Amino acid sequence: MNAIISASELASALAGDEPPVLLDVRWQLSVATAAGEPPFDGRAAYEAGHLPGAVFVDLDRELAAPPGKGGRHPLPDLAEFGAAMRRAGVSSRRPVVVYDGGLGWAAARAWWLLSWTGHPDVRVLDGGLPSWDGPLSVKVPMPAEGDFVPVPGARGLLDADGAAALARAGVLLDARAGERYRGEVEPIDPVGGHIPGSVSAPTTQNVGPDGRFLPAEELRARFKGLGVSDGSEVGVYCGSGVSAAHEVLALAIAGIPAALYAGSWSEWSSDPRRPVAVGPDPQ
């Protein structure tokens, strides 16, 4: 099954006999803003207009645990995650489509969590809300309680030691911007640089100017150029495990299974005992 769905395909699915559950996961990374500029409010954006029937999901509260030793966006408590998904109407036998404001990172985080915990049919709206040319709604739905119970393990998951080992034995991709990988700038985490042996692979290069993913054959060619060959064991990390999920999604579109290092750089760099590499080369 394709991990993404186009706006036209979604419109047809919504008009069918078994429409998917829609989850709106609009979110932006909170960084220092100009004086007086409020941080992005995903719920406010949702309430101003969303796909009809969509339920808002808060990434920071429902798709992540509070920041701590596990990084800025640790994986959520599974019981709490399952309860949040059931409140949103998610059931194991009903398809789910997730979308965000167009960047794709937050939607990919929801996609990864649901698929990692065993949901068999979850897809991301390619291009997010900007790709949708149908009507929007301000009505907040009250979906019937779903029955989804998360059971982890359907996708690969790495901890810090696993990521370090994979950087040596396989291909560990760093989905952050190149300047953060090289250690030239680090706006969020304690130190700049990258996990030794990892390869710079900004996830922004997996999409076109319209925010839609490149065709599968172009993605396969890109990852081949980054060292991914048939049989390669592949892992991905980013700053906090959000944009890395977007790269795992791009790899899935290309037909390449990949594990996610959920703690990512925010966990790795918090421990001064862990080595840090800088510059353009993996080592």
**Catalytic positions, please?**
238
Per DSSP, the three-state class of 40 is coil
Residue whose C-alpha is closest to residue 102's, from 136, 122, 73, 125? 125
- Residue 106, judged by CB atoms within 10 A of its CB (0-12, 13-18, 19+), counts as buried
Residues 6+ apart with CB under 8 A from 220: 254, 255, 256
Q: Is the dihedral of CA 219, 267, 102, 30 positive or negative?
A: negative
Per DSSP, the three-state class of 5 is strand
Inter-residue contact 175 to 66 (CB < 8 Å): no
